[in-house]
């Protein structure tokens, strides 16, 4: 029997999302098909906000920057963590106010810095080179920008190496031992108003201890910088809370995280004698489990393994290939059927690594069955590509039986978009 996560249901042997039968969706819209449950986004956001009732939540846009999804989060009161000018553009378009946006990035262009200054957002400065460039750009336009420094706190998040971002060897942030000097320099520079401090230690973190290490280290630095006379207004702790991709996996909840972080934050702020705004930047937790990817079985073949060839590959979901990630899969048109064997679900891409799910217990799978890949809302569509000449698929939003297309599928014209064939080749 398959365990199906909280907001998904089964009816007549079919997988149901937000009251909608997934097999009806695939008949109407074809596959591959990304399907997102609107209410689940709102619920996840509110669960997080309830745990951190006095903090501001800045949604990490890179997890999923579909405009409708960002609009939903803007309605719920989210700010945004953006990592490029394009993400900034989309966050503003989604209606997130500029004073609730933090512009992050370890290698920003002068053009990006100018756009950040122009739009009045806060900037997380990642290096002294960036600080000097920003001072030049802001002061030449008679502007002053509110900044934080991105601190590299040297904390191991005990997660996949490719999503560890606060190790001393990682490319992000200013080494913690150099941070006080950076604030000293910043207060002297024209156009720069240092009011925050920022870190982000990684993603898909399954243990609260790295967070307690990080908050302690950050509060040490807050204390030192405050003693310098810098008046900090906010501490942004980044994010990284994991979600249970494997059913039954024990992961900390936002409340568990709050129970670790808030007592330290409150006690130490009080001891230092300052009132700081806490900011958290959740991405994965907000959107990860809201979305499924529906894909049709093209072939089933028995070799060393039983391979199920489907019509979505790492062009649409790169996490298994890139991070060895586990995504639960179910046969959407047979959710009540008994397990019959071990199958490996693979995509149509011309790469050996194009494996979506290895060695899974599934019922008898045959051509034209529908496989649902679960928990693909974060770093799913946002990391998709057209590799192998495959137009990206349609995205749907479902809510209480209602279905809306929130991105139409691409076609061959999109593969040719912006390509120019010089006239001598015509
Ligand atoms: C990616 C990222 C996040 C979000 O991380 P999740 O693990 O998805 O919650 C937050 N802050 C920064 C700076 C990031 O780069």
Distance 418 CA to ligand 1 centre (A): 31
Query: Ligand 1 test: best mutation among 159, 239, 291, most atoms within 8 Å of CB?
Result: 239
Q: How far apart are the C-alpha atoms of 307 and 342, rounded to whole Å?
A: 9
Tokens of 210: 């790295």
At 390, the pLDDT band (50, 70, 90 cuts) reads very high
Query: Ligand 1 test: best mutation among 41, 45, 81, most atoms within 8 Å of CB?
Result: 81
Cβ(104) – ligand 1 distance below 6 Å? yes
Nearest to 105 by CA among 86, 119, 84, 122: 84
Tokens 């496989």 correspond to: 371
Cβ(269) – ligand 1 distance below 6 Å? no
Q: How far apart are the C-alpha atoms of 402 and 392, rounded to whole Å?
A: 23
Cβ(205) – ligand 1 distance below 6 Å? no
Tell me: pLDDT of 2 over 60: no
Distance 65 CA to ligand 1 centre (A): 13
Cβ(63) – ligand 1 distance below 6 Å? yes
The DSSP secondary structure of 219-260, one letter per residue, reads HHHHHHHHHTT----EEE----B----STT-----HHHHHHH
Residue 196, C-beta contacts closer than 8 angstroms, at least 6 positions apart = 122, 124, 146, 147, 148, 232, 233, 234, 235, 236, 279
**Is residue 320 within 8 Å of 314, Cβ to Cβ?**
yes
Least confident of 2-6, 86-90, 116-120, 219-223: 2-6
Is 350 a known active-site residue?
yes
Integer angstrom CA distances of residue 227 from 66, 184, 187, 290, 364: 43, 11, 13, 44, 67
Per-residue confidence (pLDDT) for residue 386, from 0 to 100: 98
Tokens of 422: 């010089």
Per-residue confidence (pLDDT) for residue 379, from 0 to 100: 98
**Is residue 373 within 8 Å of 302, Cβ to Cβ?**
no
Integer angstrom CA distances of residue 343 from 48, 123, 349: 36, 47, 18
Cβ(94) – ligand 1 distance below 6 Å? no
Taking the CA of residue 284 as reference, the ligand 1 atom at the shortest distance is 8
Write out pLDDT tens, residues 143-187. Answer: 999 999 999 999 988 888 888 888 888 899 999 999 999 999 999
Taking the CA of residue 379 as reference, the ligand 1 atom at the shortest distance is 8
Distance 272 CA to ligand 1 centre (A): 28
Q: How far apart are the C-alpha atoms of 74 and 97, rounded to whole Å?
A: 9
Q: State the average pLDDT for the chain.
A: 96
Cβ(60) – ligand 1 distance below 6 Å? yes
Burial of 43 (0-12, 13-18, 19+ CB in 10 A): middle
At 4, the pLDDT band (50, 70, 90 cuts) reads low
Write out pLDDT tens, residues 75-132. Answer: 999 999 999 999 999 999 999 999 999 999 999 999 999 999 999 999 999 999 999 9
Write out pLDDT tens, residues 354-385. Answer: 999 999 999 999 999 999 999 999 999 999 99
In percent, how much of the chain has pLDDT > 90? 93
Taking the alpha carbons of 356, 362, 365, 369 in that order, is the dihedral positive or negative?
Answer: negative
In percent, how much of the chain has pLDDT > 70? 99
Cβ(284) – ligand 1 distance below 6 Å? yes
Taking the CA of residue 150 as reference, the ligand 1 atom at the shortest distance is 13
This prediction's pTM: 0.96
Distance 148 CA to ligand 1 centre (A): 16
Cβ(348) – ligand 1 distance below 6 Å? no
The DSSP symbol for 150 reads E
Taking the CA of residue 63 as reference, the ligand 1 atom at the shortest distance is 8
Residue identifier of the C-alpha nearest atom 2 of ligand 1: 60
Cβ(81) – ligand 1 distance below 6 Å? yes
Q: How far apart are the C-alpha atoms of 61 and 284, rounded to whole Å?
A: 10
Distance 88 CA to ligand 1 centre (A): 15
Write out pLDDT tens, residues 48-84. Answer: 999 999 999 999 999 999 999 999 999 999 999 999 9
Q: Find the angle CA(251)-CA(344)-CA(284) to the nearest 5 degrees.
A: 30
Q: How many CB atoms lie within 10 A of CB 307?
A: 16
Distance 395 CA to ligand 1 centre (A): 23
Q: Which of 350, 417, 420, 426 is catalytic?
A: 350
Strand partners, 394: 33
Q: How many CB atoms lie within 10 A of CB 49?
A: 18
Tell me: pLDDT of 232 over 80: yes
Tell me: pLDDT of 1 over 70: no
Cβ(283) – ligand 1 distance below 6 Å? yes
Distance 237 CA to ligand 1 centre (A): 10
């Amino acid at each position: 029997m398959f365990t199906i996560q909280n907001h998904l249901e089964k009816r007549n042997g079919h997988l149901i999302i937000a009251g909608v039968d997934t097999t009806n969706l695939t008949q109407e819209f074809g596959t591959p098909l990304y399907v997102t449950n609107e209410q689940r986004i709102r619920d996840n956001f509110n669960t997080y906000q309830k745990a951190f009732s006095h903090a501001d939540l800045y949604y990490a846009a890179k997890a999923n920057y579909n405009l409708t999804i960002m609009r939903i989060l803007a309605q719920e009161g989210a700010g945004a963590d953006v990592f490029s000018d394009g993400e900034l553009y989309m966050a503003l378009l989604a209606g997130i106010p500029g004073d609730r946006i933090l512009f992050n990035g370890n290698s920003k262009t002068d053009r990006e810095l100018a756009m950040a200054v122009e739009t009045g957002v806060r900037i997380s400065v990642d290096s002294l080179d960036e600080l000097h460039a920003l001072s030049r750009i802001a002061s030449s336009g008679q502007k002053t920008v509110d900044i934080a420094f991105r601190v590299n706190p040297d904390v191991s998040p005990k997660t996949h190496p490719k999503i560890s971002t606060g190790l001393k060897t990682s490319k992000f942030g200013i080494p913690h031992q150099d941070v006080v000097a950076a604030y000293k320099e910043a207060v002297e520079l024209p156009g720069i108003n240092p009011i925050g401090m920022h870190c982000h230690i990684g993603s898909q973190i399954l243990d609260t201890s790295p967070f307690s290490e990080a908050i302690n280290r950050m509060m040490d630095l807050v204390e030192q910088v405050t003693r310098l006379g810098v008046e900090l207004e906010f501490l942004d702790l980044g994010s990284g809370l994991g979600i249970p991709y494997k059913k039954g996996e024990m992961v900390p909840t936002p409340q568990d995280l709050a129970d670790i972080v808030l007592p330290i934050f409150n006690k130490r702020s009080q001891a230092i004698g300052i009132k700081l705004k806490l900011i958290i930047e959740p991405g994965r937790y907000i959107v990860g489990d809201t979305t499924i990817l529906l894909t049709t079985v093209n072939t089933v073949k028995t070799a060393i393994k039983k391979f199920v060839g489907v019509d979505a590959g790492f062009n649409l979901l790169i996490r298994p290939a890139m991070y060895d990630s586990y995504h639960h899969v179910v046969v959407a048109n047979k959710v009540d059927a008994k397990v019959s064997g071990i199958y490996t679900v693979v995509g149509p891409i011309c790469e050996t690594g194009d494996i979506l799910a290895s060695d899974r217990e599934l019922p008898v799978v045959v051509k034209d069955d529908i496989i649902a890949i679960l928990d693909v809302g974060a770093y799913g569509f946002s990391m998709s590509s057209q590799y192998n000449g495959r137009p990206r698929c349609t995205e749907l939003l479902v809510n209480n039986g209602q279905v809306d297309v929130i991105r139409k599928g691409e076609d061959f014209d999109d593969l040719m978009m912006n390509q120019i064939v010089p006239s001598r080749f015509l």
